[in-house]
Amino acid sequence: MMLESARYEIVLYGRKLLESGLVTGTGGNLSIRSGRFAALSPSCVEYGLMKPEDVVVVDMDGRVQDGRLKPTSEMFLHLALYLSRPDITAVVHTHSPYACVMACLGREIPVFHYLVALAGRRIPVAPYACFGTPEFARSAAGSMGEGKAVLLANHGMVSVGRSLSEAFRIAENVEFAAMVYSRALALGEPRVLSEAEVDRVMDALKDYGSSVIMPEPLKEEDQ
């Protein structure tokens, strides 16, 4: 089975997404890139029932290399991010409630709380495009830039990382930030950190969680 360890990891984190409330039903999707290939969650399979053999392996042109099911309908999104960001090896796409609120408002999230900076100097909003299309994928990849998360207008959010655990953690933090920001906006205008303050936070975050051993990005695997 191609990319066997990646497929097991996708099953594990699919269940984490469901348990954390970041997705419901079969919504959202996730993937891991390994060299010239990517393992993607399948289309319309419940996370609690997903098995490693259900995960689909495609090449960077979207051709299925291994797997009996259809890959996620957001395959273009995942591949566009991998092609534009060679530094990442994992993508997580969710429809988490508060991220969706901010995405539907078309309001980016500034660094009003230091955890926002885990995703970059801001969490921008990608212009609307119909889900599952190349236009949607290009909008997300172009808007993310060098950050690690982007809100998808009238849709949800997507996060990236050097590992699936990092991309998942960022998705959790984006949802937390979106929740706090939306509630703060209901009471007033949240104070946003200055550029100098953001610089200091970004420097401090370089060692954030340094006591935690992060998994290394997966190496390219053969069949």
List the domains of the chain with CATH numbers.
Answer: 4-205 (3.40.225.10)
Distance between CA atoms of residues 131 and 124, nearest Å: 18
Active-site entry in 4, 19, 74, 220? 74
The burial of 159, by beta-carbon neighbours within 10 Å (0-12 exposed, 13-18 middle, 19 or more buried), is given as buried
Q: How confident is the model at residue 209 (pLDDT cuts 50, 70, 90)?
A: low
Could you tell me the strand order of the sheet in which 90-94 lies? 64-66, 56-59, 37-40, 29-34, 90-94, 156-161, 149-152, 125-126
| DSSP SS3 for 176 | helix
Report pLDDT digits (tens) over 162-195.
Answer: 999 999 999 999 999 999 999 999 999 999 999 9
First to last CA, the chain: 6
Catalytic residue status for 74: yes
- Point out the least confidently predicted range of 25-29, 37-41, 217-221: 217-221
Q: Contacts by 215-218 with C-beta closer than 8 Å and gap 24+?
A: 215/163, 215/165, 216/163, 217/89, 217/162, 217/163, 218/3, 218/5, 218/6, 218/32, 218/33, 218/34, 218/89
pLDDT at 36 over 60: yes
The burial of 1, by beta-carbon neighbours within 10 Å (0-12 exposed, 13-18 middle, 19 or more buried), is given as middle
pLDDT at 218 over 70: no
Q: Is the pTM of this model over 0.95?
A: no
Residue 200 is predicted with a pLDDT of 96
